[in-house]
Amino acid sequence: MARNKIALIGAGQIGGTLAHLAGLKELGDIILFDIVEGTPQGKALDIAESSPVDGFDAKLSGVNSYAGIEGADVVIVTAGVPRKPGMSRDDLLGTNLKVMEQVGAGIAKYAPNAFVICITNPLDAMVWALQKTSGLPANKVVGMAGVLDSSRFSHFLAEEFNVSIKDVSTFVLGGHGDTMVPLVRYSTVAGIPLPDLVKMGWTTKDRLDQIVQRTRDGGAEIVGLLKTGSAFYAPAASAIQMAEAYLKDQKRVLPCAAQLNGEYSVDNLYVGVPVVIGANGVERIVEIELDSGEQAMLDKSIESVRGLVEACQKLAPNLG
């Protein structure tokens, strides 16, 4: 059987890390695409030159033309500009919307059967735009946010409790922004929900609230430290987990930005919810029960996503 083909649109910080991880995991052959000449070619060659050391078989190449992504099984999109200190994800909207128009057209022409994972921010609006501009079915276009936000939440909790990250399982719903909803009630250590751990004296409600806030601000914390760009290792690892779930038909249950058509009483909007990812892309959207407080937080998050999408529609009325 021929190897899978993984196309990475954008060969910047996240794109390069994606290529390296996809190689190390032998997910398939890798094409890096960028508008800057030399960058995708240079990163592809550098990573290919590491393959004998790490012993992985993958062909890597860099291209500046969309024809190079022809027939890709998975396309991961990071093209666009990242945040600088003082910028919110939403400040990127106008610039990155234009990029999504180009990327969507390239995917529609050369990789219409791919499973497409969008990482470009502001995520919930950009993945919405990418689905419209590419015209691919909604089950084949998803946004990476919840896996990253949950991973940050899990990391902070594992540190707080001094336990293995392997035993922490967390859940973040909603948009990828300040209004995201880390779901304390559905997050556990070895199956024990966080509210029970508070009762057991492992932490306090106040500490937990601080960790929830740190999760919401997780991206900004990294931007503040790096100063010249935004996070890339954890975002890349998160998207690779989603790509692997698709390529290996794993049926993983992962929080992703998926198009809602009636679920959670939302229509034609991408919002972070738990989904099953397998060979058919998003195979199921999982609707969990929320209490009134959780529902109110989710509603607020949905409203902020809706605001971003309306801003996109004003800039590009053809996107419907």
Quick one: which of 39, 131, 187, 304 contacts ligand APR (CB under 6 A)? 39
- Measured from the CB atom, the residue of 85 and 262 that comes closer to ligand APR is 85
Of 121, 133, 241, 259, which one interacts with ligand APR (CB under 6 A)?
Answer: 121
Q: Which is nearer to ligand APR, 39 or 301 (CB)?
A: 39
Q: Is 155 a catalytic residue?
A: no
14 binds ligand APR (CB under 6 A): yes
Residue 15 is assigned to a ligand binding site: yes
Residue 281 among known ligand-binding residues? no
83 is in an annotated binding site: yes
Spatial contact of 183 and 172, defined as CB atoms under 8 Å apart: yes
Q: Does 230 bind ligand APR (CB under 6 A)?
A: yes
CB of 95 to ligand APR, least distance (A): 8
96 is in an annotated binding site: yes
Is there binding between residue 99 and ligand APR (CB under 6 A)?
Answer: yes
**Least distance to ligand APR from the beta carbon of 78, Å?**
4
Instruction: Decide if residue 41 touches ligand APR (CB under 6 A).
Output: no
Of residues 5, 43, 155, 176, which has the active-site annotation? Answer: 176
Report if residue 80 touches ligand APR, rule: CB under 6 A.
yes
Count of residues touching ligand APR (by CB under 6 A): 27
Interaction of residue 238 with ligand APR, rule CB under 6 A: no
Pick the binder of ligand APR from 79, 125, 172, 308 (CB under 6 A).
Answer: 79
Q: Binding of ligand APR at residue 110 (CB under 6 A)?
A: no
Per-residue b/e over 144-157, b at no fewer than 16 CB within 10 Å? Answer: bbbbbbbbbbbbbb
CA atoms within 13 A on the CB side of 101: 12
Summarize as ranges the residues that interact with ligand APR (CB under 6 A): 9-15, 34-36, 39, 78-80, 82-83, 92, 96, 99, 102, 119-121, 229-230, 232, 235
Catalytic residues: 176
- Annotated binding residues for substrate: 83, 89, 121, 152
- Annotated binding residues: 10-15, 34, 83, 89, 96, 119-121, 152
- Annotated binding residues for NAD(+): 10-15, 34, 96, 119-121
